[in-house]
Amino acid sequence: MSPAVDDPHASGPFLLRGLRPVGVAERWEKDPDLGPVVVPEETLLRRVTELGEEITLDYEGRAPLLVGVLKGAFVFMSDLARVICQPVEVDVMAVASYGSATATSGVVRIVKDLDSDLTDRHVLVVEDIVDSGLTLSYIRRNLLARRPASLEICALLVKEGRQRADIDLRYVGFHIPPDFVVGYGLDVAERYRNLPDIRVYQGPVPVD
């Protein structure tokens, strides 16, 4: 049973676990396009809590500005912000990468820019998944040009053996095999963002 809202002993992943209608998990299991679970929900929430604790310690006395990369990072950043035990500010940006549905060319354009001035701010970029790293490398260069006091990256997932750009990732949730995965904010054609865990997608991939 989930702890009560006012339960003083509630901590860790229990603070992040939401209530879902009965039968939701069973409906996901019946989807033929979903393959094996890569990262279970409880493991995800536990690791997000650990990352929040690390960030809280590292940014003591400095209020970080969390910059979420839309759309994939919105679930991760929402959960992460709630387990950082000090004031934070939040902003978002959206970029479009030219390439196929499963690979990027590294040619990037900003679709939605930040509202915040980054000058002398302590910026923490929150990314859902690092594949080639080309898009994230562009984002990092772009934001550094705005003269923040510091800039670090927190990535939930890093695909093993796929990186084509050398990026310093301060915080990493999980290293995973180079499969096409969905869930916890990650999608295919805008589907499966609300899947509570990370799973392999084994259905047809839309062609851009």
- Give how many domains the chain has, as a whole number: 1
Q: With respect to residue 93, please indicate whether it lies within any of the assigned structural domains.
A: yes
The 10 Å Cβ neighbour count of residue 161 is 7
Q: With respect to residue 181, please indicate whether it lies within any of the assigned structural domains.
A: yes
Residues 6+ apart with CB under 8 A from 32: 203
Burial of 154 (0-12, 13-18, 19+ CB in 10 A): buried
Q: List, in sequence order, every residue forming a beta bridge with 129; answer none if it has no partner.
A: 157
Q: With respect to residue 112, please indicate whether it lies within any of the assigned structural domains.
A: yes
Percent of the chain at pLDDT > 90 equals 70
The 10 Å Cβ neighbour count of residue 95 is 18
3-state secondary structure at position 26? helix
Q: With respect to residue 60, please indicate whether it lies within any of the assigned structural domains.
A: yes
Give the strand pairing for 104-112 and 89-99. antiparallel
Q: With respect to residue 22, please indicate whether it lies within any of the assigned structural domains.
A: no
Instruction: Report the distance separating Cα 45 and Cα 42, nearest Å.
Output: 5
Instruction: Report the distance separating Cα 127 and Cα 13, nearest Å.
Output: 20
Instruction: Report the distance separating Cα 30 and Cα 113, nearest Å.
Output: 39
Q: With respect to residue 13, please indicate whether it lies within any of the assigned structural domains.
A: no
- The HSE-up count of residue 129 (CA atoms within 13 Å, CB side) is 25
Q: According to the model, what pLDDT value does residue 32 have?
A: 93
Q: According to the model, what pLDDT value does residue 166 have?
A: 73
Q: With respect to residue 23, please indicate whether it lies within any of the assigned structural domains.
A: no
Q: According to the model, what pLDDT value does residue 97 have?
A: 76
List residues with catalytic annotation: 131
Residues of the chain with pLDDT under 50: 1-10, 14
Question: What type of residue sits at position 7?
Answer: D
Which of 71, 61, 73, 83 shows the shortest CA–CA distance to 16?
Answer: 83
Is residue 68 within 8 A of residue 96, CB to CB? The reply is: no
- CATH number of the domain within which 139 lies: 3.40.50.2020
* Residue 92 CA: distances (Å) to CA of 71, 79, 121: 9, 15, 15
Q: With respect to residue 19, please indicate whether it lies within any of the assigned structural domains.
A: no
Which residue range(s) make up the domain with 123? 34-201
Is residue 95 within 8 A of residue 73, CB to CB? The reply is: no
Instruction: Report the distance separating Cα 151 and Cα 168, nearest Å.
Output: 10
Q: What interhelical angle do 41-58 and 74-82 show, nearest 10?
A: 60
